[in-house]
């Protein structure tokens, strides 16, 4: 279906930047207009990239949670960790049919909360499990996931907020 939502938002941003923004002389209004311009570019970028990024984030979260679950299931003293990740790991992944962005956000948030609670539980169990085989690898996997997650999020933010700033 053309034009796409992304194309519409980019057209609005271009019209705003080319015809309206130059006509705004009052400093506070100009500052607000620059913010609106940046946000329009941000929305266009999210329309283009957010769905695939959320799908990648969910797959990444599922993989790191499964690794935590495998470690916790094989390690004495990790009952609290296992309790935090088991429900998320037991949730069935989507069947591949289309779901909206809000459903992807909900799933990513649920898995993210499970990871956050697992990290907290791992921290609490660290005095007894930090020397067990696999602990250091699980912590490294968590760090790698967090780095990838921040990189994905940064890809949505940095390119949109370019040009004149308020």
Convert the pLDDT of each residue in 29-83 to its tens digit: 999 999 899 889 889 989 989 999 999 999 999 999 999 999 999 999 889 898 8
pTM of the model: 0.83
Please state, in angstroms and rounded to a whole number, the distance separating the CA atoms of residues 118 and 79.
11
| In a domain? residue 166 | no
For 133, the domain range is 5-160
Number of domains in the chain: 1
104 domain residue, yes or no: yes
Question: Which of the pair, 78 or 92, is modelled with greater confidence?
Answer: 78
What distance separates the 2 farthest-apart alpha carbons in the chain? 68
What's the pLDDT band for 163 if we cut at 50, 70, 90?
low
Residue with tokens 């790191």: 64
* CB-based contacts of 15-18 (< 8 A; 24+ apart in sequence): 16/40
In a domain, 89, yes or no: yes
**Is residue 27 one of the residues assigned to a domain?**
yes
Q: Does some domain include residue 165?
A: no
- Residue 38 domain-assigned? yes
At 135, is the pLDDT very low, low, confident or very high (cuts 50, 70, 90)?
very high
Q: Is 55 helix (H, G, I), strand (E, B) or coil?
A: helix
pLDDT at 20: 94
Contacts of 28 (CB under 8 A, 6+ apart): none
- On whether residue 57 sits in a domain, the answer given is yes
């Amino acid at each position: 279906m053309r034009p796409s939502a992304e194309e519409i938002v980019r057209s609005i941003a271009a019209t705003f930047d080319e015809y309206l923004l130059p006509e705004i002389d009052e400093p506070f209004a100009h500052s607000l207009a620059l913010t609106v311009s940046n946000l329009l570019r941000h929305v266009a970028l999210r329309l283009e990239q957010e769905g695939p990024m959320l799908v990648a984030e969910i797959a990444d979260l599922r993989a790191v949670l499964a690794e935590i679950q495998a470690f916790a299931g094989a390690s004495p003293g990790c009952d609290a960790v296992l309790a935090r990740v088991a429900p998320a790991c037991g949730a069935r992944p989507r069947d591949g049919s289309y779901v909206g962005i809000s459903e992807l956000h909900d799933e990513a948030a649920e898995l993210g909360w499970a990871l956050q609670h697992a990290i907290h539980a791992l921290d609490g169990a660290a005095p007894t499990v930090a020397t067990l085989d696999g602990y250091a690898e699980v912590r490294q996997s968590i760090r790698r996931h967090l780095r990838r997650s921040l990189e994905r999020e940064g890809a949505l933010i940095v390119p949109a907020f370019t040009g004149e700033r308020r």
